[in-house]
Each structure stands twice: as C-alpha cells, then as structure tokens.
Amino acid sequence: MNVVVVPGADGSGLLRRAGEETEAVADLAAAVRELETRAGNGPAGDPAAGGDGRGAGRSEDGAGPGGRGAGRGGAGGGAGRWVWADTREVYPALLERGVRLARCHDLVLTEGLLLAHEGRYGEPRSVRAAHARLHGLPVPDDHEQDHAGHHGPGARQAVLFEEERPPPPDAGLVAEVHADQLRRIEATADPRRFRLLVAAESAGALIAAEMAHDGMPWRRDLHDALLAEMLGPRPVHGMRPPRLQALADEVTAVFGTSFNPDSVQQIVKAFKAAGTPVSSARAHELKKIDHPGVAPLLAYRELARFHSFHGWAWADQWVRDDRFRPEYVVGGVVTGRWATSGGGALQIHKAMRRVVVADEGWTLVVADAAQLEPRVLAAMAGDRGLARAAGQADLYHALARAFGGERDHAKIAMLSAMYGGTSGDAPKLLAVMRQRFPEAYRFVEDAARAGEEGRLVRSWLGRTCPPPSARWRELVSGPEGSRAARDRGRFTRNFVVQATAAEWALALMAVLRGLLPDPARLVFFQHDEVMVHCPQELAGEVAEAVGRAAEEATRLLFGPTPVRFPMEAVAVRCYADAK
DNA sequence: TCGGAGGGCGCC
DNA sequence: AAAGGGCGCCCTCCGA
C-alpha cells in the first residue's frame, strides 16, 4: 500500500494511507519505521541508532532496506511505496534516525520526467505547481531550495530562507498529485518502461541520500600526507604552498616579474612575444612548442589544480570523520546522469584514489560496467551483428575484424557514431559501420536527424531531451544555421545512448541495493561504476550480487537480449588498487 | 563588489 | 579545412 508522507516541524509529520484519513504524528521517523516493518520490508532500522554519521555507516544502523530479501525493493516492484514531494526533504532525517526504506515515489523527480515527456520541459516541478496545473490555476514558480550556492555539510540546515519557505502542502493534495502522475504515466508511449524509469529515478533518490549519509571512506591522514608530498607543508590561507610557489617563481623567472601563471591571456601573450606563438594555452598546444617556460608552466598548472580542487580547504569542507559526503543531484544532468552540487564527487582525480581506504576489517568492492554505451546501443538498436559482438567480453575486439582487423578502428567507429565525431579516420570508419551494422548506424543517425530538425528524442525508458531553445530556432534559420543544426544533432545522437546508459546504471544500483547483505553499503557511484563498503567476509557475496544486479538490470530494460553487460567486481582495501 | 562568460581540464 | 557527447569546478577578465 502506498503511504503519503509530509514532513512537519521538529520531526513530526503527516501520514496518509490510501483511502484513509490523514494522520498527524509527532515522531515521523518512528511512525515510518513502524509501517515499513509491518509492510514486510524488514526492520527499518534500529530505534537506538543515533545520528552519528560515521557510526551509522557501520553496524548499529540496523538492517538495510529489508536486508537481503529486498530485491523487490529495486526498480521493478509494484508493491507499496512511500510517496513524498522530495526525497531530499524527508529521507535524510529518517536516515539520521536509522530508518531505511525499500521504495519510494519522488513526486518532484517524476514530475520532471513527465513534463519533459509531455513536451513541457522546464516547467515548475513542485507538488504545488503540479497541483495548480491539474486544476488550471496559476502555477507558482519552483521555490528554489536546491541549496546550490551554500555548500558543505550542514548547508541543508541553513536557516537563511527558512522564513520565506511556504508551508508544506497537505497530504491530500500530495496524494492527488500522485494519482494524477500515475494516470499520466499510463498515458505515455510505453507505460511499462516509464514506470520502470520512475521507479529507478526514485530509487536513485534514496540511494543518493544514503550515500551522502554513509559517506565514502576517505582517510584524511593519507590525504594530508599526499598533499604534503606534492605541495609541501600547508600554507596559511591564501598563500601558495611551497612547491607551487617554487614553480610559479620558475615560470616568472622565464617570462618576467609580473607574470601570472594562472592567466590564459598572459600565457598566450608571453609565448607570442617569445617568438613561439600558440593558438591557445591548452596543455597539448604548449607541448608542441620548444620553450623553457613550457615545462614549469604545465607542472605549475597541474599542481595548482590539485591544490584548489582537492587541497586542504576542500578536505576541511567535505571530509569529516574520514568520510567524504558529497551532495549528489539525481537526474541533475539532462541525460539522467547524476550531478553534484558540491564536492566535485564525479570529478575526483584518479590520483586521489589512494586515500580511499576501507575501514579496518572491511573492504571496498569496486565494479564498473565495461563499454557500457556501445552495448546499450547494440541492445536498443536491435542490430544483430553488433549485438553478437556485444555478447563478448571485449566488444571492440569482437568488432575488430569488421574494421580491417584494428581494435582501435572499431572503437573510433563506435565512439564517432555515438558522439557525432567526424575528424580523422571517422568518416571512413563510419561508412564501414553503416554497411556492416546498418540498424545501429540508422539508430543514431535517426536521433541526429531528429535533433537537427528540432524534434525531441527519448531514451529507452522514456526520458525526453530538452526542446531546442528559442535562440536555437533563430540561429538555425540564419546564415550559421547548419552549424546550429549539426550541434543539436550531435546532442540528440548522444542523448539516446547516454540517457539509456544512465538508466541501465540506475537500474543496476536499485537492484544491487536490494541484494546487498547488511551491513554492506553503496558508498560511491560515478556514471557506470559503483563502490560498496562491506566487511571483508562479505566481499564474495557482494561481488556476486553485483553480477546478479547487472543481469537483472539488463533483463528489466531490454528483456531477452544477446547483449551482455559485463560488470566485474574486485575487492580491494584501497580504491587505487582497483583495476 | 558581484555575476557571468570563457578558458582549461578533471571525470565518465 | 576542420569538424566529437555530458558534466563541475576554479581561475581570470570584464562590465554592470
């Protein structure tokens, strides 16, 4: 049975079960826990669990979402769900109380998916807005509480705008919007797929909150040691670290005293004055010329980037108690990939992986989907030849013969087809692809054509791309029109593949979450890669769950298909040791 | 003083 | 002739 939840002040809230009156409860977490347990989703957490984030990642947090029986808590199930406006407004507080839930329906995320599908991309997604649309009333703007701008743990508690926030909608209104969404889902082109999309997106919202709660293991002592090794001792605020200053001095000595190595303009000007002009200040441009300033400048830039992205200040803000807790934004990318609103979790430099170390007696199970996007294309397009190759562990190797025996040529052909590449050997290789894999070729070409003509495209499950802007429509009928059309064609061409790959990954995580034995926890997700933190003795079981989740995600999306989605999991003590 | 644009580059 | 998808983040620069 579905239960509507509206959070109130001081841990209270409203609950409304289908067909019943709204019930006000003083302790929302306790009431939710009680109902979740009764619904057979397993213990929803230990009442004694405190709010200590680090401890919560360990053991006293109680069983997860139904423990190992909660496979149905994944993306598929049609059983009861918690229905609420926005997972980010409800779930973190429940997690603090040790409550974990199997399934939810996130109305704001779903509204976004539905609006886009209905060709109304970008309209306000709030429950109030949805309700107003439903009744033909004036639609309020989304009250932007996205917390972007004030980053850092605790930003969510920022009281700055507390006064201006409208009171939460009543539970009846929420239930009404939910019912309307269910109707609209049934009206989509393929309701089964769209239901799956909504379930996966909502599961993603739960997972994102849980990962922020549990945090990724992050050894601050190792991080500090790494920084000291690369940059020297920590400087006072605003100063360059010693190693960085030394490189800056070196560059300045070459170019003159007022030279700022962070200034692109000055770099280009300086190389021009030196008689070695460059078309840009990019590393690969600078590497082409012979000048004594190049080496120290590039070394400076690399270190400077490290200092500002992953330095002491970053760690102060994002790492606490040896846990990195970024803020994920589910569906933050138009293709359905996640984004982050702080912490840069999806751009963590590979060199930082050596500070990601499992707790004592625990291990990290790391798995990534190999060659996910071409496999997704093979499955979507129903191309027999490509699907046969995608049945192999190394898709590009299996394709090599079709492209004259060169694995690299097969790879360039596939990437060019998916990204719209046309440089180098791409045209020649795409001609081969068109001949040998006509359905796959046509699939991406059709998507590109749709984009060029200003039409919308959809992912496999029904996520819909944004419409072209008014500016684009202007441009496309002007003198530079073909350029604008091509750009949008490349976007839609890539959208269908990237968005479906994101769906597969979401489904994988949703299923995996339900299969994980307690107290194993998902702690990191990056597009096609997941990390689970678990006691060493569970590593084998977790690795096996990853494989099963990949198979189940494939079955949920594509049904029977010869395409394989290999997901090899390795158990490592340190992230840097994975692959 | 602040915000946006653009460059550059890390991740997928 | 060249031409490549999606992001976030930090920096400089420039104009309101």
Is residue A24 a contact partner of residue A12, using CB atoms and an 8 Å limit?
A: yes
Other CB atoms within a 10 A radius of the CB of residue A393 amount to 11
A219 to each of A215, A304, A315, A354, how far by Cα in Å? 12, 22, 10, 9
A528 CB contact with strand B at below 7 Å: yes
Q: Which residues touch strand C (CB under 7 A)?
A: A 151, 260, 262-266, 304, 308-309, 314, 329, 332-335, 337, 339-344, 346-347, 412, 415-416, 419-424, 426-427, 487, 490-491, 494-495, 498, 527
A239 to each of A231, A233, A249, A252, A308, how far by Cα in Å? 12, 11, 14, 17, 12
Closest Cα partner for A374 from A497, A464, A558, A555?
Answer: A497
Mind listing the pLDDT tens digit of every residue in chain A (579 residues)?
A: 899 999 999 999 999 998 899 999 999 999 999 999 988 775 444 433 333 333 333 333 333 333 333 333 443 344 689 999 999 999 999 999 999 999 999 999 999 999 999 999 889 999 999 999 999 998 988 764 443 333 334 343 343 444 455 666 789 999 999 999 999 999 999 999 999 999 999 999 999 999 999 999 999 999 999 999 999 999 887 788 999 999 999 988 888 777 888 888 888 888 888 888 888 888 888 888 888 888 899 999 889 988 988 999 899 989 999 999 988 899 888 999 998 887 888 888 888 999 999 999 999 999 999 999 999 999 999 999 999 999 999 999 999 999 988 888 999 899 999 988 888 888 899 999 999 999 999 999 999 999 999 999 999 999 999 998 888 888 888 877 888 888 899 999 999 999 999 999 999 999 999 999 999 999 999 999 999 999 999 999 999 999 999 999 999 999 999 999 999 899 999 999 997
DSSP state of A50: -
Strands A362-369 and A521-525: unpaired
In the block, tokens 């289908």 appear at A18
> pTM for the complete prediction?
0.89
Strand partners of residue A3: A17, A82
Is residue A539 a contact partner of residue A531, using CB atoms and an 8 Å limit?
A: no
- Closest nucleotide (C1' vs CA) to A528 is B12
A280 CB contact with strand B at below 7 Å: yes
Distance CA(A73)–CA(A93), nearest Å, equals 20
Which positions on strand B lie below 7 Å from a protein C-beta?
A: 6-12
Residue A21 burial (C-beta neighbours within 10 Å; 0-12, 13-18, 19+) = exposed
Q: CA dihedral in degrees (A74, A76, A82, A86; nearest 10)?
A: 80
- Listed in sequence order, the residues at least 6 apart from A378 whose beta carbon sits closer than 8 Å to its beta carbon are A386, A387, A389, A390, A395, A440, A563
Give the distance, in angstroms, between residue A322 CA and nucleotide C14 C1': 41
Other CB atoms within a 10 A radius of the CB of residue A185 amount to 20
DSSP state of A466: P
pLDDT at residue A41, rounded to an integer: 72
pLDDT at residue A166, rounded to an integer: 61
Distance CA(A48)–CA(A25), nearest Å, equals 19
Q: Measure the CA angle with vertex A424, ends A421 and A427; round to 5°.
A: 60
Distance CA(A499)–CA(A502), nearest Å, equals 5
> Which alpha helices (H) appear in A149-216, and where do they start and end?
171-186, 191-214
Give the distance, in angstroms, between residue A285 CA and nucleotide C16 C1': 35
Distance CA(A51)–CA(A29), nearest Å, equals 12
Distance CA(A307)–CA(A309), nearest Å, equals 6
A120 to each of A124, A173, A335, A452, A503, how far by Cα in Å? 10, 22, 16, 19, 21
Dig out the tokens for A496 from the structure.
Answer: 């269908």
Give the distance, in angstroms, between residue A352 CA and nucleotide C4 C1': 28
Closest Cα partner for A99 from A57, A41, A44, A31?
Answer: A44
Give the distance, in angstroms, between residue A280 CA and nucleotide B7 C1': 9
Distance CA(A259)–CA(A248), nearest Å, equals 9
- Closest nucleotide (C1' vs CA) to A422 is C3
pLDDT at residue A476, rounded to an integer: 85
Q: Which of residues 323-362 of A touch strand B (CB under 7 A)?
A: 346-350
Dig out the tokens for A66 from the structure.
Answer: 């139904």
Which positions on strand C lie below 7 Å from a protein C-beta?
A: 2-14
Distance CA(A431)–CA(A307), nearest Å, equals 46
DSSP state of A458: B
pLDDT at residue A163, rounded to an integer: 42
Distance CA(A419)–CA(A486), nearest Å, equals 12
> Which alpha helices (H) appear in A350-425, and where do they start and end?
372-381, 384-389, 395-399, 407-419
